[in-house]
A and B are shown apart, each in its own frame.
Chain A
Amino acid sequence: MASIVSVSHLSKHFRDLKAVDDLSFTVNEGDIYGFLGQNGAGKSTTIRILLTLIEPTAGDIEIMGMNLKNHRKEILQNVGAIIEKPDFYKYLTAQENLSLFAKISGVKVPSHKIKEQLELVGLIDRAGSKVKTFSQGMKQRLGIAVALIHDPKLIILDEPMNGLDPQGIADIRNLILQLSKSMGKTVIVSSHLLNEIELIANRVLIIDKGKKVEEGAAAELFDPANTLVELLVADVETTWNSLQQTSWKDNLYAKEGTTILLRMHRNDIPMLFKTLSSTDIPIYSLSPRHSLEDYFLNITTQNRHVETFAN
């Protein structure tokens, strides 16, 4: 598949801080490209560089086969974006905001399309209301309308689920899938929530402290054959030794604190349950996670418990 975004050796330094450090990655046409990293990992900086909001210190970016620096205008005509929470001219109505940004997009947008777009994001009833009366969710939807109004090939969404309720998150998720599957758009979506990316992305990039940690197809990174099972136990040493006596000894992976990690295929987990219940080994909990999650949790140690509970 042809690449639509190609980033090589991208760096951005803010004085001493290396926000992005020698980052290279490729997004292919039609991808839903998940961009994962904890807050402050450099996701937003990278996305802002892709959108020419920030000048990179070094590196090359090609989008749609054109150099970003030299063909900014042509490229941006084909890009729609939401950066963090979308904000609008508060003193203008939804419709005024949308048609204003449509005009700036450099593509002719017929006026009936403005209404259609508002209908699509469910804001047609509030088209004439000033944006200052909108909730965060409504602004998010208007942001999507603005990002899509000029029918761009590439859509870049920076933390689109931030601040949304579960229903809002589900709506955005479905919309992204719809954009990719039925409209053939390429979507780059960043998030610090692994499970959200896991549900939609076909390719994933994980970054930490501005550096690439992992990049690859989601199918591989979320490979069920690489599932890690985390056991919370009373006595790590005794349990570890007991498991050494069983057929699971080759699956033992690591022990730390009060947990033991085993690596196995997801399908084997019920068997493990059986083994554990047939022995007297006291187990408090058993939770599966794949290797990507392991990476991610290692990076995002601060969020460990949150992530674990979220799963």
Chain B
Amino acid sequence: MKKSILIVAFLLPAIFIKAQDVNELLKQVRAKIEKVNDYVASGKMKTNVIFMKVPVASIKVFFKKPNRLKIKNESGISLIPKGSISISLNNVLAEDGYSALDAGTAKIGNTDTRVIKLLPNDDNNEVVLSTLYVDPVKLLVLKSKTTTKDNGTYELEMKYGIYADYALPDKVIFSFNTKEYKLPKGVTFDYDDGTEKKQPGGKPQKGKVELTYSSYIINKGVDESVFSK
């Protein structure tokens, strides 16, 4: 018993030190992110949801600090997953109301990352838990997982290129839970062409949205009206 207390006594400062470490890392990451006040990004959006067949869309993403984000399809129709607001990491990192916990390290691709868990201090926060995978060298978030109260878990994967200095990814893969999709036949009056249905019934499905950016216009100002609609 004494022994175990001793171990805990030894370990506690270690955890504390590590936590300090993590907070420092987050601060640096945040600082990098905060260099961007606003941006307009052009790119392609690819939707991959089991029951959906959707063409690749040309989209524009508008962002303005602190955490306003809008994805617009200039010509066609795009179904934007709810919660895609967290495509902007600012949403996760901007506020201070989190406690950061070090959850060790992990490999994302070939990169060693620090795994940081963020717990909101406010019990009523929509976000229950966020997990960040941070490249400590480049100070970039490569992956994040956000668990919400109502909308399940979102996952973000980011790949950086020429805009890495601004912590802006070239590619974002946004994964989310989709509810089972079913409309009554009496509403749709389907033609039953005998095609085999891919959808395995019952369990919730993962959907994916892949954003590939071709260019960013950074800190050139974004009109407020973009976000109003």
Chain A in direct contact with chain B (Cβ < 8 angstroms): no
Q: Which residue numbers of B lie inside 8 Å of A, CB to CB?
A: none
